[in-house]
Every structure is written in structure tokens, then in C-alpha cells.
Structure 1
Amino acid sequence: MPSDDDSQSPPPEPSKVGSALHNRNFRLFASGQAISQTGTWMQYTAMAWLTYELGHSTFVLGLVAFAGQIPTFFLAPVAGVLSDRFNRRSALLALQYLALLQAAMLSALVWTRQINQWEIIAFSLVLGIINAFEVPLRHAFLVDMIDDRKELPSAIAINSSVVNGSRLIGPFVGGLLLATLGEAFCFLVNAFTYVPVIIGLFMMRNLASPAPTANIEMRDGIRDGFRYVCGFPPIYALLLFMCLVSVMGMQGSVVLPAVVEDLVHAGPDLYGAMTGATGVGAILAGVYLAYRSSIAGLGSRIVLAGVVYGGGMLLFTWATAAWGMLAILAVTGFSLMLIKAGGNIVLQTIVDEEMRGRVMSFYTMAVLGTAPAGSLIAGTIAQYYGPMASITVSGICCLVGSVAFAWMLPNLQKLAAPKLEQNGMMPPLGDPLESLTEQPLPQREKQ
């Protein structure tokens, strides 16, 4: 865990924002993801709206979200082992084809008006299974596309900005299409957005080829990954904190359609704007992380982001004007992405290369796989006590978790210091408990 005391650090080198974009392969990846993720968020927006329109049940809204996220909890560890064993590009290509097919089929069913809530849940489950394999693969694949390991934080920050820029554009465009052309068109457009990703993956050349973990059995690989994570407190404590935020931070997004329609008495255009406001904050968080020249001080920023996120959720329950809600969602979106992307950067900095895929699978479980519990909790509380009660519970839990993580942070920094020194992230002289200097990431040897 990076130390927060950088008062004795030498002046940092100028930050190379977007330095990862010097790599042709990463440019192809980022541009394809920008289009594909936009389409994915259009589908999420349309699925949530269509589900509520068909039954006006916040419980079913939570169930749809649950179906889309629960596969990650069970399948992400499998994806992590596969990521460390097989060619990541080939696996990603296969997953893009499957995602395209499910979006096209969903569009056809809605277009012929042969869709109901349970079929939407089934399609959400299929997309969740695809994402359970794709997300940890995509995170581990970042290091294969860059030539210099010091560009990895830039690649992670840019990837987060791309994903969350789509979170801004996708719901906004999705809301407009919902109001004009309907849900089926949203799903059809999403199917076409997978094509640029497929083309980009085919065009990549000279990818890094990390030595796979030879002849590893699936059960042994999962067990070894679990032992590795549990044996290093800075990793598992950070994962547990992100898990808490994901579980209890789902309330706002899950019940947002009910807030818009039942409390604000607005339509899909405001729903898209509110979801997009979260994306604005997330983009700004990605830009902030890209401007940072090192990971020094990132731990305290993650704690502060947790406090702001929890407080923002509580403040949202008191807001009455739409503009106030939009502003709060932008701030909470910034905080949430700082926790997720900042945690990703820390994890990928201290992890051993042979465990990268498996640690990223546990990261995916913490961020996405545990969220289904939050979706069901959110939907159930909203069903019986109202959507604002659900959001209040979210805010209180996130505040308590942030305080607990802040209490553990100094000890976690001390435990992480030897690993950071080993990876070239702090000077080898002196006490390893000294504050980190703004050291660049180590150069990776080409293979």
C-alpha cells in the first residue's frame, strides 16, 4: 500500500498523461473499448427501463442486476486461472463474438414484442457470464499491450476513463434512443459496437507474451490464487474494502429508475442524465489518476473517496431538485471510480507477474461479483421502505467501512513496503517503513 507521507520526496518527474497511448496495440484496444462500452451502457440503461416498464417492481430491477452480476462471483476465479494459462487475445475475441450474439438476439425478441421480465433476467445472466470472463482478462491484458511497465498506471487510468466515459455517453444516448426509437434499437446498436473491438484485436501485432503457468490444474490454480491473496494483508484488505463499497454502493444505481419515475416524476431522459452524471465524475477521476506521476499517497485518497461517497449518498436523500441530484451523482461517481481504479493501480503494482490474472479475478469479484448481494438488498429495501431508505443504508455502510479501512491503512503501508521495494517502487536504502518516493514503475523486459 503506498505511503501517504511524501513530504520528503524529491520533485516528481512530469506526468506523462496518456503515455500508454504511444503503444499502437493499446490505442487499438482503447478506441474499440470506447465504442463497445458505450453500447454496453446503452443496453444496461434500456434493460433497466424496460424491466421497470413491464412490471413496475423495484424487486425485479434488483433481480435483473443480480442475474447480470452473480456469475462474476463464481466464474471470475476460473477466468483468472485461464488468463494465466492461455492466450488472452484469443480468449477476448471469442467473448466479443458471444456478446454480439446475445445483444442481437435480445434486440430481435424486443422488436417482435416477445419479451417479458423473466427473459430479460435470462439475457442479463448470459451477459453476466460473458463479463465474468471478459473483465479479469481485459485487466490482465493491459500489461501485454504496453512496452514499458512504467506506463501501466497510465494504461489503467485511461482504461478506466474509457469505460466510464462510455458510462456518461451510453446512458445519455440510450435515454434519447429510448424516448425516440425504443429499447430494441438500443440493443441492436450495442450488437454493432462489438465489431470495432474484434477488428482491433485482429490488428494487434507484437504483443507481449508472459510465460504461462505451465500445466496448472484449475483447482490448484484457484487454490494458489486464494492463498496468495489471503497471505498478503495489503491485497486482501483493499479487496475487502472495495467489496464493501460494491455491495453497499449499489443502492443508488439499482433504484435510480424508481427515484426518477416515482419521486421526481420524470422520464427516461432524466434517468439517462442522472446515470451519465455519474459517468462525468468517473471520467474526471480517471483523468486525475492519469495525471499522477506515481502511486505515492494513493491510499489516503482511496479512504477519502470512501468518506465522500458515503456522505454523498446520504446527501442525495435530502436533495429535492434534479440539478442537485445530478451534482451529487457526479461527485459520488468521482469517488467511486477513484476507489476502484486507484485500487486496481495499487494491486497491479504489488502483485507478482505469475499471479496477475488470478489477482485481477479476485479484484473483479470484489468490484462486480459481490454486487449482486447489494442489488438484492437494494431492491428489497426499496420495495418495503422506499428507494431513499435503500440509499441511506448505502451511505451509512460506506462511511463505516471507510473509517475501518483508514484505521488499518498505516499498518498495511508498512506491510506493503518490502514488496514495493522489491518491485522497484521505493529506494533500496534505509528503513523500508520510510515514506515512498515518487519512483517510476520498473522497466519490463521484452519477451
Structure 2
Amino acid sequence: MKPSQVFRSLRSRNYRLYFTGQSISLIGTWMQRMAVSWLVYRVTHSSLMLGIVSFSGLIPSMLFSPYAGTLSDRHSRYRILLYSQVASMLQSGVLAAIVLLEHYNITAIIFLSVVQGIINAFDTTSRQSLMVDLIDNKDDLPNAIALNSSMVNLARLLGPAIAGLILSTFGEGVCFLVDFFSFIAVIISLLMMNLQLPPPQRVEGNVWQGLREGYRYLQQAPDIRAVILMLAASGIFLMSFNTLTPVFAKDVFGGNAKTYSWFASITGLGALASAIYMAGLKPGKDLVKIIGAAGILFAGSILLFSLAGSLPLALFLIMLSGMGMMGQIAATNTYVQTNVPGYMRGRMISYYAMAFQGTLPVGSLLAGGAASQVGAPLTASLQGAAGIICAVIFLWSMRARNGKDNIVT
């Protein structure tokens, strides 16, 4: 695989600016995520409270993503993205201030998590919908999506590693402060862009009519609906597993903040490897098979992780889970963006965001509640088993719908 093939979308100046700014900002974002979870578990020692805080930060995506998707189809996606980054910066600043000044409680953490969740609903739909406008050669869109996934997972690798050192030395407040300053990079990169965007499509009717149009389109596109539902199933049963990693790090394996950061970083390493593989894929690959196979790898790794008796084996298995997770996410994103018309892209990305982020709060709440009753290992075993069943059903249904040897790519 030639490097020029893997990084071909970086030839576009606007995408290169976006990639650079987001790379810096996302390191801070992952540091904040790590610090919030560790702070909550350190203060409460409750896996249920971990689930509640995670639920609070993610449920807005389920509620607001359809509205945000319709808004991005009708207004400037660039401006929505810029405003959402500024809002995220302010949220991080408030979080840093209350923790550093020791004027925080769990209620305040939950409230700020809800605020960030609302911001993320608009950020995700506008950012993903804008991707095609950032590249000069539209054939490079799948590569740009995969490189974006690589960027996210490189940040997921570096952010927790840095957070682990800062948490054990300075505490959670400094992690939040670093996240605040990291937004400067992405805001500057957005302001430096020279975009020639087509005017948003003028449509009759209000936003709620646009939502209904998106839903009707989804009903008439069974393959798009199937890959989104598969991602939603993974969000409920598998991605919510991350809620339990502080419990595994501290209670199951007897570790500390550094052990917790190892889990997140090694997951990011596996996800980064998968994203690089996706970036090098040539057009015409069977994305449906990749989604199904990645789902099985994701679920099977979590099932085996729950049974692991040693930390090195657990780290290896969680790395494989990261590979499966990112393979499924990137392939689903590429499939959706390359199989829907431009005027409907924002709304379909909003459904993708609902499946990716909107189902996580439900899964996180269920995982935290189950772990508080039956323990984290058994909960993770059940999550893995459910994920395998969903992946098998997905592959069977897609094969039955499109013909044994004619699955749409």
C-alpha cells in the first residue's frame, strides 16, 4: 500500500487544514472524556453513576440529531461547525474552572455533560456533512472519511496516555484546561479555509417537514436502514462497554488511573490500525461484509475480554475490539455518504449520528445498571454475546435481501 494512496485526500488544502486542527483538538477531547469518567468513579465509586453521567452526555444526540441534520441541509454547514466548536470550547472552560476551583458536584458534571451532548449533536452532523465539500476530488471522499477516523483514533491513542499522566500528577482539572486550549487550533483552521460552498437548497416547509422527508427516504432505502440499525445495535450492546472500563481498571485488575488510560490507549491503537486499513481500501470493496465481519470481531473480543484472567491478555483483546469497532464505524459512514444524494446527506448523517452516539446513552445506562447488580465481567459477557447475534442477523438479512452473491457495495 503506497503512502500516497493512504493520504491522497490531504492534497486538498481545506481538508488538510481541517485534519490538522481537528488532530490537535481531539487529543484534548479524549483527555476530557477520560477525566470525566475517572472523576465520577473516584468520587462516587458507583458503576451506576458512570452509566448515568454517560447517559446524560449522549442522550442529546438521540433527541437533537434529526433536527441538526435537517438544519445542516438548509443552512451553512460551515457556520454551524464553527459555532459548535466555539461552544465546545466554552463548555470545556467552565468545566475546567469549577474543578480547578473545587466548586463542582455530580449535578454540575451531569449538567455540563448534557450541554456538551447538545453541542455534539449539531457538531457531528455538520462536520460529517461538510466532509465532501472539503476535498477537491470527490473520488477521495471514502479516503477522507477513513483518514478522519484515523485522526480520531490517533487522538484516542495519545489523549488517554497523556491524560493518565496528568490525572495521576495534577488531577482532572488540568485535563479539562488542556482541552479548553486545544480548541484554538481547530477554530483557527476553520477560519483559514477558503470554501466555495453551494448555497443551501431552498425548500418549502418547516424543519419538521424536513425531518419527515428524511424518515420517508430511510423507509425507501432498506440497505441504508439496515447498516444504520446494525450500528445502533453496536451502540447499545458494544460501544457502551467503555462505560465499564474504569471498573475493570480499578476493581477487576486492581489498577489506577494509568491502568485506565492503558485501556483507552490500546483501544485507540487497534482502532487506528483499522482506520488506516480502511483509508487504503480501493473503490468497489464490499462494505457490507466489512461491517458484518468488523461487528463480529468487535463483539467476540469483548466477550473474550470479560473472561480474561490477566491484564496483558485483556489489553490484547481490547485492542482487537478497537479494530472491530472502527472498522464498523468507518465502513458504515462511507456506505451512507456514498449511497445517498447530496440534498439528503445531512439528514442521513443525523440518523447515522443517532445510531453511533444516540444509542450509546441507553446502552451506557443499561451497562452501568447491570454491572451494579451482576458485576462488570458478566455484563461484558452478555454485551459480547448480544453483539455477535446482531452481526450474524445483519449479514443474513443483507444476503437474503440482495441475493447470495449480489450484496450491494
Query: Structure 2 length normalisation: TM-score?
Result: 0.96
* Structure 2 gaps, min length 5: none
Aligned to 2:58: 69
Residues 169 and 213 of structure 1: is their aligned pair in 2 closer, same or farther, counting only changes over 3 Å? farther
Q: Does 250-259 or 284-293 show the bigger shift? A: 250-259
- How many residue pairs get aligned? The number is 409
Aligned to 1:352: 341
Q: Give the share of equivalent positions with the same residue, in percent.
A: 37
Between the aligned partners of 2:52 and 2:12, the Cα distance in structure 1 is 41
Aligned to 1:190: 179
Q: Does 130-139 or 406-415 show the bigger shift? A: 406-415
- Give the residue type in structure 2 aligned to 1:95: S
Q: 1:384 aligns with which of 349, 373, 377?
A: 373
Between the aligned partners of 2:92 and 2:78, the Cα distance in structure 1 is 21
Between the aligned partners of 1:176 and 1:386, the Cα distance in structure 2 is 28
Q: 1:209 offset after TM fit, Å?
A: 2.1
- Give the residue type in structure 1 aligned to 2:363: G
Between the aligned partners of 2:66 and 2:84, the Cα distance in structure 1 is 17
Between the aligned partners of 1:50 and 1:121, the Cα distance in structure 2 is 12
Deviations 1:96-138 (A, max 9, x none): 1111111111111111111111211111111111101101111
Give yes or no for the alignment of 1:157 onto 2:146.
Answer: yes
Between the aligned partners of 2:204 and 2:153, the Cα distance in structure 1 is 37
Deviations 1:125-184 (A, max 9, x none): 111111011011110010111122101001100111111111111111111110111111
Alignment map for 1:42-441 (pairs within 5 Å): 42-209=31-198, 211-413=200-402
Deviations 1:276-317 (A, max 9, x none): 111111111110011111142221121111111111111101
C-alpha RMSD of the superposition: 1.9
- Give the residue type in structure 1 aligned to 2:108: E
Query: Structure 1 length normalisation: TM-score?
Result: 0.88
* Structure 1 gaps, min length 5: 1-11, 416-432, 438-447
Q: 1:319 offset after TM fit, Å?
A: 1.1
- Give the residue type in structure 2 aligned to 1:85: R
Residues 160 and 357 of structure 1: is their aligned pair in 2 closer, same or farther, counting only changes over 3 Å? same
Q: 1:255 aligns to what SS in structure 2?
A: helix
1:144–1:210 contact (8 Å) kept in structure 2: no
1:179–1:268 contact (8 Å) kept in structure 2: yes
Residues 207 and 276 of structure 1: is their aligned pair in 2 closer, same or farther, counting only changes over 3 Å? farther
2:240–2:360 contact (8 Å) kept in structure 1: no
Residues 128 and 270 of structure 1: is their aligned pair in 2 closer, same or farther, counting only changes over 3 Å? same
Q: 1:212 offset after TM fit, Å?
A: 2.1
Q: 2:5 aligns to what SS in structure 1?
A: coil
1:15–1:292 contact (8 Å) kept in structure 2: no
Residues 435 and 271 of structure 1: is their aligned pair in 2 closer, same or farther, counting only changes over 3 Å? closer
2:27–2:156 contact (8 Å) kept in structure 1: yes
Between the aligned partners of 1:207 and 1:185, the Cα distance in structure 2 is 39
Aligned to 1:35: 24
Q: Does 41-50 or 158-167 show the bigger shift? A: 158-167
Q: 1:78 offset after TM fit, Å?
A: 0.7
Between the aligned partners of 2:46 and 2:406, the Cα distance in structure 1 is 54
Deviations 1:321-351 (A, max 9, x none): 2111111111100101111110110111110
1:145–1:207 contact (8 Å) kept in structure 2: no
1:15–1:293 contact (8 Å) kept in structure 2: no
Q: Does 201-210 or 116-125 show the bigger shift? A: 201-210
Between the aligned partners of 1:295 and 1:53, the Cα distance in structure 2 is 48
Q: 1:208 offset after TM fit, Å?
A: 3.3
Q: 2:6 aligns to what SS in structure 1?
A: coil
2:288–2:408 contact (8 Å) kept in structure 1: no
Q: Does 101-110 or 206-215 show the bigger shift? A: 206-215
1:52–1:61 contact (8 Å) kept in structure 2: yes
Residues 270 and 81 of structure 1: is their aligned pair in 2 closer, same or farther, counting only changes over 3 Å? same
Structure (1/2) with the larger helix percentage: 2
- Give the residue type in structure 2 aligned to 1:265: G
